[in-house]
């Protein structure tokens, strides 16, 4: 039997196919693929491929040779047809750097033709056929997912190549989930970048490949993977998330993995009830590097991926096999104080880079979110139009300050990323039409306030803050025109808070299970006067001293202290709001944080961290 058939002719057809791409005749190339009967035939063959393979596997496990004859004729008639058709797929659709792979497979088939063509005589023959089938299917999957145009005159990465369509056609319109309330930070608006990454993660996960996403902070690495994990059915596929940090150890990782799995047989462990499990490791590069240049936590992870298990901590010498696990991971680009992972671990991952979205993509993301919230809260058309304009103005302001103020040893916190834009819009969208009163000036005042809180509050020098106010005013004038009349002086700045309303009185209609935090209406609104705010803060401080044992706080609320408390309170009331206070000792960082936490209804836990020798 001749396996190597029509190779030259098929390569000529491949070159014809390649030329179609080079002259950008997309429709002709698409027709060329769809009109090829072998491409559809190979898909249908491999649809039944696993059943036949499993039948042979069951027979080989039972160690009975007699039933082999039953399958011999079927394989003699179909196996080589499958090989031929797979050969056609390789010849017509193979990319240039897969040609040698194709030739080596042909050599393999020709070399083993006598053994493949004879009757199945013993268990070794059966195992050989099974391995051959697995090799053929693995390479078909490889080719099926790498049908790629060669040197397309446009950007090839913008096309979903198996059906020759632009990636933008796969970007769905974003809609807020009607039946659930999601956090602002977990919103993922589809765009070309995250749709492409999600597609690649999906096809690699189906092949049980480990995937590592790398990218700058704020490029939605974590959100992409966590959103992807939600599509798994928990009845068949479990998901777990582990966050690495500088104190993550190998013992912690091993004990965590052992808690995820149950014993199956002997020293073999896996997810419960025979299910599979995908483990997402966030910030995989965070563990500290020891004196030998290794990350201990990642070394035990490498052993688990490489050897499908690790050695028992309880019984030294016993190797625990862990099966049915798959790993997804994310990390920032190494450098600037961030660690890299070892090459020995990195080689096990399929690495995808998450790039920063384009300006159009950024505007599309926040425009989709803002439109939904504005329509949901019945803002007027005039306000919606101003909101649309402020989206690009916010991005331009963020890009300007990001390029102007770079981090230094003295200003290590001058780090600006896409999360800043998200925080600005999360603050803006706290307000309702009732507080905004559909007044354009009120909205612009809020926009100025949120941009200042997120971007300018980390600036140290007064000259830097003055530059920011002037730059913000200039961008606003260019974007909004003459309707922007807010003065740039610091004294004229308006501050917002959500704890100014009086507490509601408890009534019998509320029931016994009423949450005391619900008695304080959290309405995000501007401060009417500093005297009113001072009175409110003094009342809250008195109540805190009465309710919390050992609290004897006695603060003088001058203007700067009240401004600092408003800044702290704004962040604490945000979901996943984290704050780093930078200042000299005795400036009120701890006292103001305790009071702001009490006002927000949060508990305060003091973790006193000191340098050790």
Q: Are residues 312 and 270 part of one domain?
A: yes
The pLDDT, as a whole number, for residue 471 is: 93
Most confident of 18-27, 220-229, 372-381, 505-514: 220-229
Q: Are 427 and 571 in contact (CB under 8 A)?
A: no
Q: Mean pLDDT, to the nearest integer, of 450-465? A: 92
On whether residue 608 sits in a domain, the answer given is no
**Does 455 reside within a domain?**
yes
- Give the per-residue pLDDT at 583: 83
- pLDDT given for residue 151 in this prediction: 36
pLDDT recorded at residue 299: 92
pLDDT tens for each residue of 521-569? 788 888 989 999 999 999 999 999 988 887 888 899 999 999 999 999 9
Q: Are residues 340 and 388 in the same domain?
A: no
The answer to whether residue 94 scores a pLDDT higher than 60 is no
What is the Cα–Cα distance from 58 to 130, expressed in whole angstroms?
11
Taking the C-alpha atoms of residue 189 and residue 184, their distance in angstroms, rounded to an integer, is 11
Task: Say if residue 205 is in the same domain as residue 350.
Answer: yes
For range 344-352, the mean pLDDT? 92
**Which segment, 53-57, 103-107, 520-524, is predicted with the most confidence on average?**
520-524
Mark which of 317, 336, 354 sits at the end of a domain. Answer: 354
Asked whether the predicted pLDDT for residue 2 surpasses 50, the reply is: no
Burial 566-594 (b: 16+ CB within 10 A, else e): bbbbbbbbbeeeeeeeeeeeeebbebbbb
> Is-contact 586 531, C-beta < 8 A?
no
Give the residue with greater pLDDT, 1 vs 267. 267
Answer whether residue 50 shows pLDDT above 90. no
pLDDT value of residue 239:
94
Tell whether the model's pLDDT for residue 479 goes beyond 70. Answer: yes
Binning pLDDT at 50, 70 and 90, where does residue 155 land?
very low
% of residues, the chain, pLDDT over 70:
68
Whether 331 and 435 share a structural domain: no
Percent of the chain with pLDDT over 90: 31
Q: Are residues 470 and 397 located together in one domain of the fold?
A: yes
Residue 161 lies in a domain: no
Average pLDDT of the chain, as a whole number: 77
Q: Same structural domain for residues 202 and 74?
A: no
> Do 320 and 374 fall into the same domain?
no
pLDDT value for 602: 85
Residue 536 and residue 487 share a domain: no
Q: Is residue 148 part of a domain?
A: yes
Average pLDDT over residues 196-223: 90
For residue 70, how far is the Cα from the chain centroid?
50
Q: Is 469 helix (H, G, I), strand (E, B) or coil?
A: helix
Quick one: average pLDDT of 285-310?
A: 90
Which tokens go with 53? 């393979």
Whether residue 526 contacts residue 494, with contact meaning beta carbons closer than 8 Å, is answered with yes
Which ranges constitute the DSSP H helices of 412-504? 418-428, 433-436, 440-451, 462-480
Residue 311 has pLDDT above 80, yes or no: yes
25 and 123 assigned to the same domain: yes
Average pLDDT of 204-226? 91
In a domain, 610, yes or no: no
Between 230 and 21, residue with greater pLDDT: 230
- Looking at 107, 124, 154, the residue that finishes a domain is 154
Whether residues 342 and 198 fall in one domain: yes
- pLDDT at 26 (0 to 100): 42
Q: Is the pTM of this model over 0.85?
A: no
CA atoms within 13 A on the CB side of 10: 20
> Does some domain include residue 612?
no
* Model pLDDT, residue 267: 87
Task: Tell me which residue range forms the domain holding 333.
Answer: 192-354
pLDDT mean over 587-602: 89
- How far apart are the C-alpha atoms of 213 and 207, rounded to whole Å? 17
Same domain, 323 and 455: no
C-alpha 288/C-alpha 293 separation (Å) is: 9
The answer to whether residues 443 and 387 touch, using CB atoms and an 8 Å cutoff, is yes
Domain-embedded: residue 485: yes
Q: How confident is the model at residue 57 (pLDDT cuts 50, 70, 90)?
A: low
* 180 confidence band (pLDDT: 50, 70, 90): low
CATH of the domain at 252: 3.40.50.300
Q: Give the domain-ending residue among 339, 354, 369.
A: 354
In angstroms, the CA 491 to CA 387 distance is 26
Residue 506's Cβ-count burial label (10 Å; 0-12, 13-18, 19+) is exposed
- Our count of domains for the chain comes to 4
Please indicate, yes or no, whether residues 141 and 55 belong to a single structural domain of this protein.
yes
Say if residue 144's pLDDT is above 50.
no
In a domain, 611, yes or no: no
pLDDT band at 130 (very low <50, low <70, confident <90, very high): low
The pLDDT score that the predictor gives to residue 457 is: 92
Supply the pLDDT for residue 240. 95
Can you tell me the mean pLDDT for 575-585?
A: 85
């Amino acid at each position: 039997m001749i396996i190597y058939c029509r190779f030259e002719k098929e390569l000529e057809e491949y070159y014809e196919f390649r030329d179609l791409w080079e002259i950008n005749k997309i429709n002709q190339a698409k027709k060329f693929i769809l009109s090829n009967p072998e491409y559809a035939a190979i898909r249908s063959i491999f649809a039944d491929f696993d059943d036949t393979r499993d039948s042979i596997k069951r027979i080989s496990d039972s160690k009975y040779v007699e039933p082999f004859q039953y399958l011999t004729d079927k394989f003699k008639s179909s196996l080589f047809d499958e090989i031929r058709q797979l050969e056609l797929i390789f010849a017509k659709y193979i990319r240039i750097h897969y040609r040698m792979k194709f030739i080596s497979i042909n050599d393999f088939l020709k070399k083993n033709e006598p053994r493949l063509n004879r009757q199945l005589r013993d268990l070794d023959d059966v195992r050989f056929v099974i391995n051959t089938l697995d090799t053929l299917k693995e390479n078909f999957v490889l080719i099926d997912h790498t049908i790629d145009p060669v040197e397309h005159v446009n950007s090839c990465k913008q096309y979903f190549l198996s059906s020759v369509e632009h990636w933008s056609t796969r970007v769905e319109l974003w809609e807020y989930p009607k039946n659930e309330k999601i956090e602002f930070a977990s919103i993922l608006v589809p765009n070309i970048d995250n749709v492409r990454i999600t597609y690649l993660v999906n096809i690699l996960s189906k092949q049980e490949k480990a995937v590592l996403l790398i990218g700058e902070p704020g490029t939605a690495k974590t959100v992409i993977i966590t959103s992807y994990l939600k599509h798994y059915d928990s009845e068949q596929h479990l998901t777990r998330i582990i966050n690495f940090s500088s104190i993550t150890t190998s013992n912690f990782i091993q004990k965590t993995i052992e808690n995820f799995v149950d014993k199956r047989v002997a020293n073999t462990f896996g997810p419960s009830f025979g299910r599979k499990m995908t483990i997402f490791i966030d910030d995989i590069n965070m563990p500290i590097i020891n004196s030998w240049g290794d990350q201990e936590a990642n070394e035990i992870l490498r052993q688990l991926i490489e050897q499908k298990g690790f050695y028992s901590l309880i019984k030294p010498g016993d190797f625990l096999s862990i099966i049915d696990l798959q790993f997804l991971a994310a990390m920032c680009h190494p450098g600037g104080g961030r660690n890299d992972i070892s090459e020995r671990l990195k080689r096990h991952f399929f690495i995808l880079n998450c790039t920063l979205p384009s300006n159009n993509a950024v505007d599309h993301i926040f425009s989709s979110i803002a439109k939904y919230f504005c329509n949901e809260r019945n803002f007027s058309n005039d306000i919606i139009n101003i909101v649309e304009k402020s989206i690009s103005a916010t991005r331009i302001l963020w890009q300007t300050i990001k390029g102007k103020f770079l981090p230094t040893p003295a200003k290590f916190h001058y780090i600006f990323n896409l999360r800043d834009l998200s925080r600005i819009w999360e603050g803006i969208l706290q307000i309702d039409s009732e507080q905004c009163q559909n007044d354009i000036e009120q909205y612009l005042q809020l926009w100025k306030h949120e941009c200042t809180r997120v971007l300018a509050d980390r600036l140290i020098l007064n000259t830097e803050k003055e530059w920011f106010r002037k730059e913000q005013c200039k961008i606003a004038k260019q974007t909004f025109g003459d309707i922007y009349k807010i003065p740039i002086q610091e004294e004229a700045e308006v501050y917002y808070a959500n704890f100014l309303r009086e507490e509601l009185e408890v009534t019998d209609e509320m029931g016994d299970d009423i949450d005391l935090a619900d008695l304080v209406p959290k309405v995000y609104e501007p401060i009417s006067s500093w005297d009113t705010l001072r009175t409110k803060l003094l009342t809250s401080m008195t109540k805190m001293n009465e309710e919390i044992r050992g609290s004897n706080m006695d603060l003088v609320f001058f203007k700067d202290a009240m401004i600092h408390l408003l800044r702290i309170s704004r962040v604490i009331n945000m979901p996943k709001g984290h704050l780093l206070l930078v200042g000299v000792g005795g400036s009120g960082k701890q006292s103001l944080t305790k009071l702001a936490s009490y006002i927000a209804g949060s508990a305060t836990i003091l973790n006193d961290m000191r340098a050790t020798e």
